[in-house]
Amino acid sequence: MENNSNSALKINQVIAVLTILVILGTNIQLFNMKEAGIQIAKTNIQEETKEKIEVAQSYEREVKVTTRSDVDRTAKVTSNIEENKSEEIVQNSEQNGTQQIPSSSQINEVEKENKIPQAVRKYKKIEEIKISTNMDLSIRCGISKEDFNKLMSNLRVDTSGFFKRNSNTIYELCEKYEINEIFFCGLIAAESGWNIASSHRKANNYISMMSKGKLIKYSSEAEGLEAAAKLLHSRYLTKGGSCYSGKTLSAVQKRFCPNSSTWVGLVFGCMKQVLK
């Protein structure tokens, strides 16, 4: 009996030891699995973070490569505008059975309509300026401010230095109010003389703007020039203006100087002197 009891005790002890080993083994396995899971999770997070950083860096590189200055972007827009306008003109001409290349005046119209900045505009040379009695007086002559200043500096008939002194102002006003620079200078010369008549000089009134039969007075040359440009633009060269009859010299003459048969020739003659 005692032997049987000892055997049973030993068996129980073995079973207990085995049970403990199994439990320990299971716990160790679970611990290892947990550790492995944590490690996998860390690896995944690291890889995901790395991927996000790489994507961000790639995006940053792309932005740096494709970003252009305002002038560059505008230059591209300018090119597209001109290309689209040219295509439109060609398509219209093809529909009419003719082939037509867009003229410089049509491109100038596109530039004017879309307010293309001076920095990206394509300029003509001084010798490329064309004028005529039938020209549209609201279209700029197409040269740069630098060349216009040069033109005014070399204006031999400018005996008072008025045009040279005010060349920047005249150019900027013509740009602001959409007036041909050569016409504006020719009109001033026709109305005030190249030497600027004393009465016009004292009133800073250069195109004979009147009120109650007298020249309107302005406080400075710049103010008088702007008043003249604004008047021409709003009343004479814009459809719907109170004195609008068209945009040519003869059209403007109808309301600006209706009783003169020599006004068109006088203004145009002064315009030609600007380009000599």
Summarised one tens digit per residue, pLDDT across range 9-30 is: 667 666 765 666 656 666 556 5
What integer is the mean pLDDT of 116-145? 88
What integer is the mean pLDDT of 239-265? 96
The reported pTM is: 0.59
pLDDT for res 7: 62
Integer CA distances (angstroms), 137 to 116, 188, 252, in order: 19, 14, 9
pLDDT for res 191: 97
Does position 129 have pLDDT exceeding 60, yes or no?
yes
pLDDT for res 27: 57
- In tens, the pLDDT along 32-45 reads 565 655 565 555 55
- In tens, the pLDDT along 67-80 reads 333 333 334 334 44
**Domain edges within the chain:** 1-67, 123-274
Mean per-residue pLDDT of the chain: 77
Q: Which residues pair with 215 in a beta bridge?
A: 210
Residues 232, 241: Cα–Cα separation, whole Å: 10
pLDDT for res 86: 43
- In tens, the pLDDT along 184-221 reads 999 999 999 999 999 999 999 999 999 999 999 999 99
Does position 82 have pLDDT exceeding 70, yes or no?
no
Residues 67, 99: Cα–Cα separation, whole Å: 38
Neighbour tally for 114: CB within 10 Å: 13
pLDDT for res 65: 35
Is the domain defined by 123-274 classed in CATH 1.20.150.20? no
pLDDT for res 122: 86
% the chain with pLDDT above 90: 55
Q: Which residue has the higher pLDDT, 137 or 76?
A: 137
Q: Which residue has the higher pLDDT, 134 or 57?
A: 134
